[in-house]
Amino acid sequence: MERLHFHEELEQLKLTVLNMAALTQQAFENAVKAYINRDVDLAQKIIDGDQEVNKIELQVDHQSLRLLALEQPMARDLRMIIGNMKISNELERIADQAVNISERTIFLSQYSPLDEIPAMDSLIEISRQMLKKAVSSLRDMDATTAKEVRNMDDQADESTLQVLKSLIEHMVADASAIDKRRLKTRRSIQTIILSRCLERVGDLSTNIGEHVAFMVEGINIKHQKFKEEDPES
């Protein structure tokens, strides 16, 4: 009673989501690169390319709904479909954050750069690592790696806070030069929004990790502290 045809379709769904993950990760990496290098062309390419990810999300919804309706999946098959649907939603939102970052980059690149923001590098790095780890846990169906993603979230939150503090300091400095200050404020606000996008990528990567853990182990670990849910740790 092997369900070969169904399992082939399920495998296809997984490949579609993995392809979506690769495109999303690439979009985010490029968004960060465009911000760092003040590369307006690259930023525009990311904005233009977002439709592809949106299209795949619709495709995943369609494939998943079809399998749920026609195949009555059970156990890990059911978890795979539910998990992939949720992950595709998170990926689409990450791709949207890449677009948002790119829009900030296009604005910021019109003006001279702000003074150095020390925590920004670590925020970029941590959000990149979180997404990378989430995608690799999805590719390998590895619950241990998946759970590690959310352990990095505090670090991302802390870096975001430090970025915010630095930018507020930027905004209140040079209070005498009104016109200059206005421009600096606008750049600072855009950079704050950008840092918020980076932090959101970390949050959404955490969600992906939680979905992967659910797919592999069947346990819902959302809204739980890491150490509490794992009795062996």
Q: Which of 69, 75, 175, 178 binds another protein (CB under 8 A)?
A: 75
Say if residues 131 and 201 touch (Cβ distance below 8 Å): yes
**Sequence-distant (≥ 6) Cβ neighbours of residue 150 within 8 angstroms:** 206, 209, 210, 226
Residue 64 or 195 having the CB closest to another protein: 64
Shortest distance in whole angstroms from residue 80 CB to another protein? 10
Dmax of the chain from CA atoms?
Answer: 79
Q: What angle do CA 31, 105, 107 make, to 5 degrees?
A: 155
The HSE-up count of residue 213 (CA atoms within 13 Å, CB side) is 23
Helices (H), 109-141: 118-140
Shortest distance in whole angstroms from residue 74 CB to another protein? 5
Name the segment binding another protein (CB under 8 A); options: 120-128, 171-179, 193-201, 217-225. 217-225
Nearest to 117 by CA among 162, 184, 181, 183: 162
Name the segment binding another protein (CB under 8 A); options: 19-27, 53-61, 133-141, 211-219. 211-219
Residue 74 or 178 having the CB closest to another protein: 74
Name the segment binding another protein (CB under 8 A); options: 12-20, 71-79, 146-154, 169-177. 71-79
Shortest distance in whole angstroms from residue 69 CB to another protein? 13
Say if residues 24 and 97 touch (Cβ distance below 8 Å): no
Indicate whether 1 belongs to the interface with another protein (CB under 8 A): yes
Q: How far separated are the first and last CA of the chain, in Å rounded?
A: 39
Shortest distance in whole angstroms from residue 3 CB to another protein? 3
Of all helices (H) and strands (E), which one includes residue 95? helix 75-108
Name the segment binding another protein (CB under 8 A); options: 31-39, 146-154, 170-178, 214-222. 214-222
Indicate whether 79 belongs to the interface with another protein (CB under 8 A): yes
Query: Which residues are at the interface with another protein (CB under 8 A)?
Result: 1-3, 6-7, 72-79, 217-219
